Amino acid sequence: MTDTTSTKSQKTLAFLLAQSPFLAMLALAFFGVAYTSVSRHGMTLYWMLLVPAYGLVCVATTWRAAPESDRLRAALLQALHWGAVMFAMYLALIADMERAMSAAASALVLLVILALGTATAGLHLRSWPIVIVGASLATGVPIFAWLEERTLLFALTAVGLAAAGAMGFAIWGRLRAAKQ
């Protein structure tokens, strides 16, 4: 029984290690959106460095899967693909666009571009983990937008309740003092 448990643990660990680049892709993108939402500062350099990292994961994926004669061609196609994604991000981040959008909105636009680039790269490579990363990023866009709107609502509600509580406490203190 311990051999079976040990074998299952080893298989699980091997699976997680094999999927770690894809999990890292998700974590890094979601960190970028979350940090931008909290800090309210654009992270242009972060997003521009994230694209080559995604490209390297895709090149490594295609390098392992492609026949030796096609590896260089496949890597070049991925480099061109991710160069186009980076150019699209650059266009979204030019000075005029940055002034027109908040940092949080810019992060969501970049996440959409990254999601589209990731999903199309995964489809081209026939790599379902990369397609799933792209789909997860795309799914994250409306979720982050919803949370962004609700965060302000929750904060305003908390401030309103705190103000009402403070006013109630002040009125209660005056009424108590008036009775004495």
Q: Is residue 36 part of a domain?
A: yes
Q: Is residue 29 part of a domain?
A: yes
pLDDT computed for residue 109 by the predictor: 87
Tell me the DSSP string of 37-71: HHH----HHHHHHHHHHHHHHHHHHHHHHS-GGGH
With residues binned 3-state (H G I as helix, E B as strand, rest as coil), the percentages for the chain, rounded to 5, are 95, 0, 5
Mean pLDDT score, 114-142: 90
**Predicted confidence (pLDDT) at residue 117 exceeds the cutoff of 70:** yes
Q: Is residue 50 part of a domain?
A: yes
CA nearest to 58, candidates 71, 75, 73, 72:
75
pLDDT computed for residue 164 by the predictor: 72
| Distance of alpha carbon 42 from alpha carbon 93, whole angstroms | 9
| Distance of alpha carbon 42 from alpha carbon 58, whole angstroms | 26
pLDDT computed for residue 79 by the predictor: 92
Question: How high does pLDDT run on average in the chain?
Answer: 81
Q: Is residue 170 part of a domain?
A: no
pLDDT computed for residue 23 by the predictor: 85
Q: What is the pTM of this model?
A: 0.74
Q: Is residue 178 part of a domain?
A: no
Q: Is residue 158 part of a domain?
A: no
> Using one digit for the tens of pLDDT, what is the confidence trace for 30-58?
888 777 767 656 677 888 889 999 999 99
**What's the total number of domains in the chain?**
1
More confident residue, 155 or 25: 25
Residue 14's domain spans which residues? 2-141
pLDDT computed for residue 119 by the predictor: 94
Q: Is residue 110 part of a domain?
A: yes
| Distance of alpha carbon 110 from alpha carbon 32, whole angstroms | 10
Q: Is residue 46 part of a domain?
A: yes
